[in-house]
């Protein structure tokens, strides 16, 4: 295993009333001890051990996972040259799962990624968390599941360990971490607390592949720096079936296109040869022997044309008081809106148009300021 700085925010899990001892092996969530051989793939075994544990806790199925797939396919790590458990968790998340040990077997040498087996995603995880660097934080995490940890595994008395609670010659400096293992529980013996640690050196090493490492010491990072690089995968739901998914239902019928927009409103007809916009009213400006020769447009719909004048009023103020320049709602009212001048209607054909002078129609001027106009 290569030493590495932490790449995620560390999380201290709170826990109350933890049991005095815990052994995840007795709960059926730890696979048998494996052997990495002469390949520096401890990181892969620690990673699969943690994923095997959380998957068994969530689903009830203990499935041995493929270290070889991590070595061959996870290009963020270095195969037999070492690696990081967090990177392995990230790769499994991005790949969408990991294959089984039985399908993608361990060879102990670096190989080419089997893309077909890489697509067999039997177990998934949702994420991972790093554990704060203390005995108490590591205990709180271990109460929940088996935990991947880094440690210094270079000491001779560690490599030759056979039994007892180890507190030997290993370094407790995080910079000396060079090995990865799996914490699967904890306990106490004759007043000494220890971690139950699963190694990946086969069952002939230690206590059938396990070691007890002393915990609750005064060392900042614990014996062999075991507190300094702990992490665990997270999982909340069952893994997908390795078998093909059923054929999905056909897509829903495409909804019909929206109806076309309504046609633009047609202009208001003013006799045979003139028109006004659709939201205005035609009013006769000049009449000769009952025939209107010139039309104007009042800027209201359904307006009232003030007879004999160039003014008009809106339909809700239909009474023309031209002397005062007002449109009133009722006879006798003193308050109204300003009467509007009509503007020239447009011709239907491009004959000689009646041109309006720029200043011909000006806003009405109030003859009295007794009441303000309604706006």
Active site residues: 42, 179, 199
Backbone angles phi, psi at 45, to 5 degrees: -70, -40
Backbone angles phi, psi at 269, to 5 degrees: -75, 135
Give every CB contact of residue 28 below 8 A, 6+ residues apart in sequence. Answer: 56, 62
Indicate the SS3 state at residue 374: coil
Per-residue burial over 2-24, b if 16 or more Cβ lie within 10 Å, else e, is bbbebeeeeeebeeeeeeeebeb
Instruction: Give Dmax (Cα) for the chain.
Output: 128
- Closest C-alpha to 212, from 185, 228, 194, 187: 194
Contact 230, 138 (CB under 8 A): yes
Contact 50, 233 (CB under 8 A): yes
Cα torsion for 37, 39, 43, 46, to the nearest 10°? Answer: -10
DSSP state of 114: -
Torsion sign (Cα): 85, 88, 90, 92: negative
């Amino acid at each position: 295993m290569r030493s590495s700085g932490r790449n995620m925010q560390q999380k201290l899990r709170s826990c109350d009333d933890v049991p005095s001892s815990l052994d995840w092996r007795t709960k059926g969530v730890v696979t048998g001890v494996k052997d990495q051989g002469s390949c520096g793939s401890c990181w892969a075994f620690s990673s699969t051990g943690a994923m095997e544990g959380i998957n068994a806790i969530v689903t009830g199925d203990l499935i041995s996972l493929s270290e070889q797939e991590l070595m061959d396919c996870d290009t963020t790590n270095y195969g037999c040259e070492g690696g990081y458990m967090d990177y392995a968790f990230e790769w499994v998340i991005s790949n969408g799962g990991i294959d089984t040990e039985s399908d993608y077997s361990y060879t102990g040498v670096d190989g080419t990624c089997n893309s077909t087996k890489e697509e067999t995603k039997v177990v998934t995880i949702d994420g991972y968390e790093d554990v704060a660097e203390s005995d108490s934080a590591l205990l709180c995490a271990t109460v929940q599941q088996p935990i991947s940890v880094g440690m210094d595994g270079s000491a001779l008395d560690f490599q030759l360990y056979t039994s007892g609670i180890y507190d030997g010659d290993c370094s407790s400096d995080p910079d000396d971490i060079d090995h990865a293992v799996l914490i699967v529980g904890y306990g106490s013996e004759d007043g000494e607390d220890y971690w139950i640690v699963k190694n990946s050196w086969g069952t002939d090493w230690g206590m059938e592949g396990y070691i007890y490492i002393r915990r609750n010491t005064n060392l900042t990072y614990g014996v062999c720096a075991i507190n300094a690089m702990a992490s665990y995968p997270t999982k909340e739901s069952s893994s997908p079936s390795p078998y093909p998914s059923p054929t999905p239902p056909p897509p829903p019928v495409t909804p019909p296109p929206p109806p076309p927009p309504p046609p633009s409103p047609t202009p208001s007809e003013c006799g045979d040869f003139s028109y006004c916009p659709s939201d205005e009213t035609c009013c006769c400006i000049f009449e000769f022997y009952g025939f209107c020769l010139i039309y104007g447009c009042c800027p209201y719909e359904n307006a009232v044309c003030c007879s004999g004048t160039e003014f008009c009023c809106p339909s809700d103020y239909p009474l023309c008081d031209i002397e005062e320049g007002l449109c009133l709602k009722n006879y006798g009212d003193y308050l109204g809106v300003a009467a509007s001048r009509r503007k020239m209607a447009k011709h239907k054909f491009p004959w000689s148009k009646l041109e309006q002078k720029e200043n011909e129609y000006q806003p009405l001027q109030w003859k009295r300021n007794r009441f303000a106009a309604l706006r």
